[in-house]
Structure 1
Amino acid sequence: MMLQKVLCSTLAWFVLSQSRVVAQEYSWLLFNNTLLMPASGPKLTASADVPCFPALGFKMPANVPSSLDGWWCDSSTEYAFVGFSYEITQCQSRSQLNSEFADIRQRFRGRYIRLYGACDKANYYNDIIEAAWENGLGVHALIWFGWTDPNIWKIRRDSIFRSLLSNPKAKFITRVLQFGSEPLYDWALDPAQLAEQIKAAKVTLAGLNIPVTISEMAYGFQKHNGAADILAVIDVIDAHILPFFASDASTGDQAWKNVQNDLDWFVRRVGGRKIWFSQNGWPSVTYPGVEPNSPKAVASIAEESKYYALLDSKCSYLKTVPGGGVGWFAHLYSDYQEPGYGILDVNMEPKFDFAPRTSC
């Protein structure tokens, strides 16, 4: 089933408080073909004026809700900048996760993290869930294939399934489960096998209402003649947008034509499903494995900054894309996670001013 766009209906009422009238809006969301209506009373949230997770200003409830009814924000509000890819290969401690997730939420106004890489510490996704809950962040979870052990993805799959099925907070934090990062481009599995794994994951997680997808470039699909069998089974689109590697790339502020080309490729094929730019950026340095395909492509902090400024300038357009608009992640949170792609450098200092819009 697909994560659908909202059925656009808004319920409003007015509450008199200290001689003011406060308008509150609640959206109706079609989630996996189930109409989720606003919950009443304290079951939904401790914040009366921000009624959905993970909207900015939302206050996490003291207790885990009894139902997902009314929990997730309308997908049409989740456009523009939504957060960061966050690499967990270092197996960050709970205290580090808490500190950095708080920074993502409070300083950068992030609503989500998108996991990248893998930590094979037992039950590590529980640490992610707890830190995300503590800081009001949703998560695009990831089953990482990697490039060394051809079977370790199965262990990672089973581990994250255990956390998702046993942790009562998991379904309130996990917005999407990604079955691989560029699994088509990397030939992690034959597309038919990958499609079967996606379908099996959806059955396993059916009681949690967690959409399942892959995180992939348009080119990854194109390598497999469009990978129609994959497009048929994924619930949402987590698209990799990496225009630095285009054959005609030059500077970050000139990247829109390549972004548009890839976005258009998805829009034409996904039937109105929600689109996220999950792995999305422009590097500030090059090194083996991060090398351009165009002699004119410039990697620098200035060009990285220009690229994100370009995306921010397209806020109004991205809001109109079918499926509830495009929500984009910056790739990555810090250069300590992967050189050149961080918004912060290895000393955790901003490489440039970064305050993109979260709405427009």
Structure 2
Amino acid sequence: MLISLSSVVFLASSAWALPLAQSCLDNGPSCFPLGSASFNGSLQPPNMTREEWWCPQSMTYGFLGFSYPMEGECYDDSFERINADLQSMKRDFGASMVRVYLPYCYTTYIWENLIRAAVANDMGVVAQVAWPLNGDPLEYWQKIAASILEIFTTSTYKDIAPYVFHSVEFGTEPIGDMDDGDNFINDLIDFKAAIKPYSIPVGISEDWDRPGIMRANETEGLGPVGEQILPQSDFVHAHVMPYYHGYNQSDAWSYIESQVWWYKNNTPVPTIISETQWAWELNVLHQGSKDIGTPQYVAFWETYDANCPFFKETNVGWFLHAWKWEAHSDMGSVGPASTTTNTPIIHIVHFRFYPSISREHRLSISQAFLALQYTCISPTTKKPYIRSFTGGLDISIENLQHGFSHIFMLEFENQEDRDWYVNDDPVHKQFGVKQLTGVVEDVMVMDFRRGEF
């Protein structure tokens, strides 16, 4: 089922608003997540089979949702943060699914939080096994795979997981990145076999426009690697990326259209465009087309939105890449509709205790400080507003601490929340007076926004 992006909220200022696109929304049957079926907020599995629960492939076309980078630490992916993001995706854009991208918390923590948030928002989840791109050991992909399997076998959410997880991508451009070399096909086969008892479809997320590798050197047909991958694929999650293939924006749609027909003709399995993007500004680490800028970025997504009948005809869904953190092709930083006051702020706090303060006293103060995440209340929403809060004891071996032994990291949704916390929040102020006076010799505080230098 296609839901038009319509006026596209991420460019919704009067200067950049897009015209309403024609809606291709159908009235779906009682199925999930494109029909009327709902979890109704319950973490108990629906009283039906997985096959009965999920909407058929014939309904899975057009805009489905967003690629959702999860490239931070585990504490970046709290339930509260994920839930807020999924709420926005569904409320502001009509997303029905979310595609996880590069999950770098190598435990079940993020999957459990995703399940809870997806249930709360009636959204399906495309999970992903990824080879790390952040400098972590490449073999950590095995930890991600194991954490996903653990969700289905021993976790608290094992019964409902098949009703939340739509599918699992085994790698994102694993062929282009040569993940695990010649062992990759066997890795894919083994993972697919391990998750088969839970009826979860498995495939790779990849750009198949690799002549002589994924596709034949001629226009039609598969290449030698494509011929090995396709029999192990329950679906194709395609990277259709005219930007990275050097096209001008005005020619992007002809490339997209030709690629969709190539997949339809050569990969006879359900197809979703899992990654497609344009850049509004040059980024030296993500160079592609030279035809970049905010107008091109807007026009690129307008074109996708305007061609909903094509995606319905071809029965192809697509995810917008990406929701956040992806340089100059994410949702959070484009155009006048976004200002620095509306982007998250990381607030770093260091404590240097007086030497006479005991370890037990330091621990109690640290615990009281962390508790502010739940006791500091927004004057507007009347709810806690610190998005995430973590901390710990310094373990550096560089001897550059200058006596600071405890470090804490808070994240605020925007500058307004940060300013309220620093200048006005009575709970925060009381903590400082009651807990820190005569105990902490010095405090060092620094704030930053990710990627702003």
TM-score by length of 1: 0.75
Q: CA deviation at 1:58?
A: 3.9
Segment drifting more, 96-105 vs 310-319: 310-319
Larger RCO (CA within 8 A; separation ≥ 6) = 1
Residue matched to 1:301: 294
Deviations 1:312-357 (A, max 9, x none): 2221122122xxx0101100113xx212212332899569xxxxxx
Contact 2:34/2:96 (<8 A) preserved = yes
Distance 1:347 1:260 in 2: 27
Distance 1:331 1:152 in 2: 24
Count of aligned residue pairs for this structure pair: 292
Question: What secondary structure sits across from 1:213 in the alignment?
Answer: strand
Q: CA deviation at 1:150?
A: 2.5
- In structure 2, the CA distance between the partners of 1:93 and 1:266, relative to structure 1 (3 Å rule), is same
Deviations 1:135-178 (A, max 9, x none): 11111110010243231111111111111333222111111100
What one-letter code is carried by the residue in structure 1 that aligns with 2:142?
Answer: K
Give yes or no for the alignment of 1:267 onto 2:264: yes
Question: What secondary structure sits across from 2:295 in the alignment?
Answer: helix
Segment drifting more, 98-107 vs 143-152: 143-152
- Equivalences for residues 1-360 of structure 1 within 5 A: 51-55=30-34, 57-61=36-40, 62=42, 63-66=44-47, 67-90=49-72, 91-123=76-108, 124-147=110-133, 148=135, 149-166=137-154, 167-190=158-181, 193-220=183-210, 222-223=212-213, 225-227=223-225, 228-247=227-246, 249-251=247-249, 253-271=250-268, 273-292=269-288, 294=289, 297-321=290-314, 325-334=315-324, 337-345=325-333
Distance 1:157 1:85 in 2: 19
Normalized per residue, the structure richer in helix is: 2
Q: CA deviation at 1:239?
A: 0.3
Q: Which runs of 5+ in 2 are unaligned?
A: 1-27, 215-222, 340-453
Identity across matched positions, percent: 22
Segment drifting more, 193-202 vs 133-142: 193-202
What one-letter code is carried by the residue in structure 1 that aligns with 2:130?
Answer: W
Segment drifting more, 228-237 vs 114-123: 114-123
Question: What secondary structure sits across from 1:140 in the alignment?
Answer: strand
Contact 2:107/2:144 (<8 A) preserved = no
Segment drifting more, 52-61 vs 297-306: 52-61
Segment drifting more, 261-270 vs 137-146: 261-270
Contact 2:106/2:147 (<8 A) preserved = no
Q: CA deviation at 1:56?
A: 5.7
Deviations 1:41-60 (A, max 9, x none): xxxxxxxx851111265432
Larger radius of gyration: 2
Contact 1:283/1:340 (<8 A) preserved = yes
Distance 1:289 1:314 in 2: 30
What one-letter code is carried by the residue in structure 1 that aligns with 2:283?
Answer: Y
Q: CA deviation at 1:195?
A: 2.2
Contact 1:52/1:72 (<8 A) preserved = yes
- In structure 2, the CA distance between the partners of 1:159 and 1:221, relative to structure 1 (3 Å rule), is farther
- In structure 2, the CA distance between the partners of 1:229 and 1:57, relative to structure 1 (3 Å rule), is same
Q: CA deviation at 1:288?
A: 2.1
Q: CA deviation at 1:220?
A: 4.5
Segment drifting more, 308-317 vs 229-238: 308-317
Distance 1:205 1:326 in 2: 25
Q: CA deviation at 1:262?
A: 2.4
Q: CA deviation at 1:83?
A: 0.2
Segment drifting more, 130-139 vs 223-232: 223-232
Distance 1:109 1:350 in 2: 20
Residue matched to 2:422: none
Q: Which runs of 5+ in 1 are unaligned?
A: 1-48, 352-360
Question: What secondary structure sits across from 1:267 in the alignment?
Answer: helix
- In structure 2, the CA distance between the partners of 1:126 and 1:69, relative to structure 1 (3 Å rule), is same
Deviations 1:70-114 (A, max 9, x none): 100121111111100000112321101001101111111001111
Distance 1:98 1:221 in 2: 41
What one-letter code is carried by the residue in structure 1 that aligns with 2:327?
Answer: P
Question: What secondary structure sits across from 2:327 in the alignment?
Answer: coil
Contact 1:88/1:116 (<8 A) preserved = yes
Question: What secondary structure sits across from 1:114 in the alignment?
Answer: strand
Query: Which contiguous aligned blocks of 4+ residues in structure 1 show a shift greater than 4 angstroms?
Result: 346-351
What is the CA RMSD across the aligned residues, in angstroms?
A: 2.4
